[in-house]
Amino acid sequence: MAKQQVIVPDIGADSAEVIEWMVKVGDSVAVDDSLLVLESDKASMEVPSTLAGTVVELLVKLGDSLSEGAAIVVIETADATAVTAAEPQEAPTDTIQDEAPVKSELQSSAAELPKAQTGGSSKHSVLVPDIGTDDAVEVIELSVSVGDDVAEGDTLLVLESDKASMEIPADATGKVLEVAVAVGASLKQGDLIAVLEVSAASSTEQVVVQEAKQEAPVVAAPASSTVAPVEPKAASVAPVRAAEPQAASSHSEVVYAGPAVRKLAREFSIPLGQVSGSGPRGRILKEDLHAFVQQRLSTPTATASSGTGIPAVPAVDFSQFGPIREEALSKIGKVTATNMQRSWLNVPHVTQYDDADVTDLEAFRASLKDEAAKKGTKLTPLPFLLKACAVALKDNPKFNSSLSADGESIIYKDYVHIGFAVDTPAGLLVPVIRDVDKKGLWELAEEVLELAGLARDKKLKPAQMQGACFTISSLGALGGKGFTPIVNAPEVGILGVSKSSVQPVWDGSSFTPRTMLPLSLSYDHRVINGADGGRFMNQVVALLSDIRRLTL
């Protein structure tokens, strides 16, 4: 086994920019497989590998300007002699020629580590840890630049999937030598994020880990226990279908297309994610764009509608009316918009309204305020709502079901997981509390606080947002007398909660002041009829009005 670099060949230009990676660390490549795409002011070109083997390091990053002779990747080849002829060895950097022989020594003896280091320091590759999904996740923010000093645990970048944003921390302390990714890149577990220069003194163990990672980059996981978002594998691999599986897959797909194709797609507003590529590795070619446009033009409704037969909202140039600002939606914002529209268009909604008399509940809650403070938690109306809904979901199983994808059957769930909407600066997130029926009010209060905090800090893992049977959207703290919540399909029901207020209520002989909580229950009318809805709502109202019933 030997490690060797592939360098930029004669590209017919002084320099060209790296605009696309076609391989990642851990990929196996054959001679002539494309490694990356360079774009100069005159042309774009794919740089082929001159070696066969496994990619162990990417030496440049998107946006870098490269000239002939620049080293681009390190490839571990099975046979050093076989590749010598294929590879010009006068690469400008010395890392590989130095590292290849050193590596085996490092593995065999930790005592010899200092020999492997230059000037008392060594290079440490930071890889994407277990992020709870096998899908590629987009880099939305870089928190460090080359030259920065980072401490273990400092955030290096922020990843945002269809369902969550997460900060990826450094798993070692050192100076950033290289940032291997750019905003917009899609990363998976094991991908290289950055290379740090760590001092030998900081941790001998880290160097061993670093070398182990270089040996097997795809399976490497941060060794440090301080890598916050990493969960044990079993916990982070969610067996449950995500609430929006279609969105998850379509948004996370990697699109392979060259710059000319991307430019053409931009000019014609062609969504590359919807185009099938017929080139190598599914790469999208110009012909594929032509075929896509032809197919769209031959579909009569496509030009005049949003694809569902519904007339599209016309594009308006608002600047003709006054100054404007345009801000791109966050990924979570885009996914929310798609999900809302999908639910609204697919689910025949019915919403019914009622008020629960929560006078006693509020008195009980107030009496527990000090106890809650002592426990370090907060008892808002939400845990009571969760508990009441859990009871009603068990007693009204249709609300705890989903329509099968083919619409032929109803799938009843024997578990009671409830999502609750959290308003965060990044957008609306819906963490899920599992087995609500089996939990007490204090436990629910703590989980609400914890999950809402994680949501606001962009630290929710995908598994913490999956598997809900029903959703509660509580706008109570904000106000309002009622609203129409949109069902989070494939769930079939959602409870909207508005602000409680003291109202004069007729008790049969006089008006008495009672604290009334406005509720709005939306449901999928394909599964739930009005009588089912009425029964569910009546039960929730009864439970909240007399919380002793929650204990039955």
Work out how close the CB of 504 gets to ligand CAO at its nearest, in angstroms, rounded to a whole number.
Answer: 18
User: Cis peptide leading into 397, omega within 30 of 0?
Assistant: no
Which token pair is 307? 């694809």
Task: Tell which one of 54, 77, 473, 520 touches ligand CAO (CB under 6 A).
Answer: 473
Map residue 268 onto helix, strand or coil: coil
Q: Which is nearer to ligand CAO, 209 or 421 (by Cβ)?
A: 421
Burial of 117 (0-12, 13-18, 19+ CB in 10 A): middle
Map residue 336 onto helix, strand or coil: helix
Work out how close the CB of 422 gets to ligand CAO at its nearest, in angstroms, rounded to a whole number.
Answer: 4
State which H helix or E strand residue 451 sits in.
Answer: helix 441-456
251 belongs to the catalytic site: no
- Going by their DSSP bridges, the two strands 53-58 and 28-29 should be labelled as antiparallel
The reply to whether 420 sits near ligand CAO by the rule CB under 6 A is yes
**For residue 206, what are the contacts with CB-CB under 8 A and spacing of at least 6?**
124, 172, 198, 223
Site residues (CB under 6 A) for ligand CAO, limited to 495-514? 497, 499-500
Map residue 477 onto helix, strand or coil: coil
Work out how close the CB of 331 gets to ligand CAO at its nearest, in angstroms, rounded to a whole number.
Answer: 17
The reply to whether 476 sits near ligand CAO by the rule CB under 6 A is yes
Give bridge partners of residue 518 from the DSSP assignment.
355
The reply to whether 125 sits near ligand CAO by the rule CB under 6 A is no
- Going by their DSSP bridges, the two strands 418-420 and 410-412 should be labelled as unpaired
Stretch that binds ligand CAO, among 185-193, 245-253, 377-385, 462-470 (CB under 6 A): 377-385
Which token pair is 430? 């819906």
- Judged by CB under 6 A, the number of residues near ligand CAO is 20
The reply to whether 423 sits near ligand CAO by the rule CB under 6 A is yes
Site residues (CB under 6 A) for ligand CAO, limited to 245-284? none
Task: Tell which one of 55, 517, 537, 540 touches ligand CAO (CB under 6 A).
Answer: 517
The reply to whether 477 sits near ligand CAO by the rule CB under 6 A is yes
Work out how close the CB of 542 gets to ligand CAO at its nearest, in angstroms, rounded to a whole number.
Answer: 18
The reply to whether 428 sits near ligand CAO by the rule CB under 6 A is yes
The reply to whether 399 sits near ligand CAO by the rule CB under 6 A is no
What does residue 290 show for φ and ψ, rounded to 5 degrees? -60, -45
DSSP 385-424: HHHHHHHHHHHSGGGGEEE-TTSS-EEE-SS--EEE-EEE
Q: Which is nearer to ligand CAO, 121 or 473 (by Cβ)?
A: 473
The reply to whether 431 sits near ligand CAO by the rule CB under 6 A is no
The reply to whether 381 sits near ligand CAO by the rule CB under 6 A is yes
The reply to whether 55 sits near ligand CAO by the rule CB under 6 A is no
Place of tokens 């190598």: 280
Question: Which amino acid appears at position 356 of this protein?
Answer: A
CB atoms within 10 A of CB 439: 19
The reply to whether 422 sits near ligand CAO by the rule CB under 6 A is yes
CA dist 369 and 107 (Å) reads 59
Residue nearest to ligand CAO (CB): 476
Q: Which is nearer to ligand CAO, 18 or 429 (by Cβ)?
A: 429
What does residue 450 show for φ and ψ, rounded to 5 degrees? -65, -50
The reply to whether 97 sits near ligand CAO by the rule CB under 6 A is no
The reply to whether 450 sits near ligand CAO by the rule CB under 6 A is no
Binding site for ligand CAO (CB under 6 A): 380-382, 420-423, 428, 448, 452, 473-477, 485, 497, 499-500, 517
Q: Which positions are catalytic?
A: 525
